[in-house]
Each structure stands twice: as structure tokens, then as C-alpha cells.
Amino acid sequence: MQTYINKKFNLIIPLKFENLKRYGGNGDGGYVCESSLIKGTDILISFGMGSDWSFELDCIKDNSKVKIFMYDHTVTILPYLKDVLKYFKRFITLRGKPNALNNRVKNLKDYLSFVFLKNVFFYKEKIIKKKINKREANIEKVFERIDEKNNTKEKSITLKCDIEGSEFDIIEDIIKYSHRINTLIFEFHWLNQNEEIFLDVIKKLQKKFVVAHIHGNNHCDKLSNGLPEALEMTLINKKFAPRKKILITSFPIEGLDMPNNPNKEDLYFQFSV
């Protein structure tokens, strides 16, 4: 059902960009970006990997030279190995089908082939505001590593952040590097609890970026104000903003957006201007 969003959120109405494209799978893990900026990106910083890295793979397809700095403290090889062992035991005891085992072996191979790509640098670290131990990294450390590996700060950067609510803690630190970032992709979580914080950080982000796309994550519901409880957002550096300011007010957008949960209807909402 279409819902109108409270007008106080009109500041997040996206501008129309001509070259928007979906990168990643048709469920969770896919994000909408401006394709010419992805093709020109030198560095992709990705906070949050989980079990889906289709976004990063699609970026590589469009730009084989991109270097990916991937951070996720929750990801290890162990679940993939355990799955293979589990289904191997079922197979040799005649309790499982070959296809089930083959699928788990494929998942393991896919994981290994990604993390060992020559242009992927994987860090099993948690992204936080203030680094305390070796298993954590702050934004300053993230950018120090980029500079160490590239010997220059003159690189165009795309940054994707999906870290389950911790995004609010690091946004001000990200803004300090806004002159180097062409594209920002966020998934904002628990907006039922973080409404005022959300509005505050959006105002700060919009000093340097414009909103290019939004999409509601249908794993969560819509709030009484019409806003999705979890909101995916793409922002683009103001220097790439279109000269003609056309607003996009109705979502989702056919051909770009897909429901995060394919078994549920996507979240429909509209702005009143």
C-alpha cells in the first residue's frame, strides 16, 4: 500500500540522476549507484560483507581496476567448512542428495575466490568510532591503509556502509573525508529509535552530498510517519550533482529496486511536495 511520508523528511527526496544502475543481487545486498561514478572509482570501501558480496562483484565487472577494502568482523571461513562437512556426512550415510553437497562446496569456493581476488583486501575488523584493539578499525585507520597501499591521496572513492545501526557513530568521521568520496551508500537501521539522530546526520551529510536514491528494506516495516524502519540510501558528492534539479518522489522504482525479502511485497511510499 502506498504511504505518504511526513513532510519533515522531504530533505531526503532524491534528485534525478540519468545513469542509475543496480549493483548486486535482486534481494538483500543490491544497491543503486550512478554507473559512471562506479566505473571511475579507484577505491571501494565496504563496511559489512555477511554472506553476500554480489555488490562488490558487480562493481568489479564494471570496473576491473577497482581496489576493494572490505571490513567485517563477523565473517570467517568456518561456517562454509562446517556446512561442507555436515552435508558430506549426510551424503556418505545416504541421508543427503549430491546437489545439496555440491551447493555447499560451491558456496565455499565462491567465498574463497572472492576474498583471495588480487584487488580485494579483507580485514576481519569491526568498524567503530574509536579504535581500542587490533580487531577494530576507525575511519582514520581505514583511510591510512588506503594511502599506504596506493602512495597517494588522489583517488576517487566509493564507500558502502551496512553495519547494523553503528553507522550513526561514524558518519561525522566519514564526512571529514568527503572531498575524496564520490559516492556514499548507507543502510540506516532502526529509524523508529533513531529518527532525530537520522535527521541530524542527513543535514550534516547534505553539506557535502546530495541524495541520489532511497529504498525501504522490507525485512522491516514502515513507521507511522511513512518512513521505512530500515532505509537504503545512495548519496553523491555535490560536485557531480545534476544541473537540472528534478525530484523523484515515488518509490520503489521499477527496474532498479527489488524487495530485500523476495517473499514479501516491497515497501511503497511517496513524498508530498
| Long-range CB contact pairs, 204-207, < 8 A, 24+ | 204/171, 204/172, 204/175, 205/171, 205/175, 205/235, 206/11, 207/175
DSSP label at 113? H
Mean predicted confidence (pLDDT) in 5-26? 95
Residue with cell 523508529: 192
Does residue 266 carry a pLDDT above 80? yes
* Rounded Cα gap, residues 134 and 136, in angstroms: 5
pLDDT tens-digit profile of 188-227? 999 999 999 999 999 999 999 999 999 999 999 999 999 9
Whether residue 242 is preceded by a cis peptide bond, meaning omega within 30 degrees of 0, is no
Report the Cα 173 to chain-centroid distance in Å: 18
Does residue 2 carry a pLDDT above 70? no
pLDDT tens-digit profile of 136-180? 999 999 999 998 877 666 679 999 998 877 899 999 999 999 999
DSSP 156-218: -EEEEE--TTTHHHHHHHHHTTGGGEEEEEEEE--TTT-HHHHHHHHHHHTTTEEEEEEEE-T
pLDDT tens-digit profile of 93-150? 888 788 999 999 999 999 899 989 999 999 999 999 988 888 999 999 999 999 887 7
Of the candidates 62, 68, 54, the one whose C-alpha atom is nearest the C-alpha of residue 38 is: 62
Do you know the residue count of the chain? 273
Q: Residues with Cβ < 8 Å from 203, sequence gap 6 or more?
A: 11
pTM: 0.91
**CA-to-CA dists, residue 198 to 36, 64, 162, 173, 245, angstroms:** 28, 35, 15, 15, 24
Write out the CATH class of domain 3-75+124-271.
alpha beta
The three cell numbers locating residue 182: 564520490
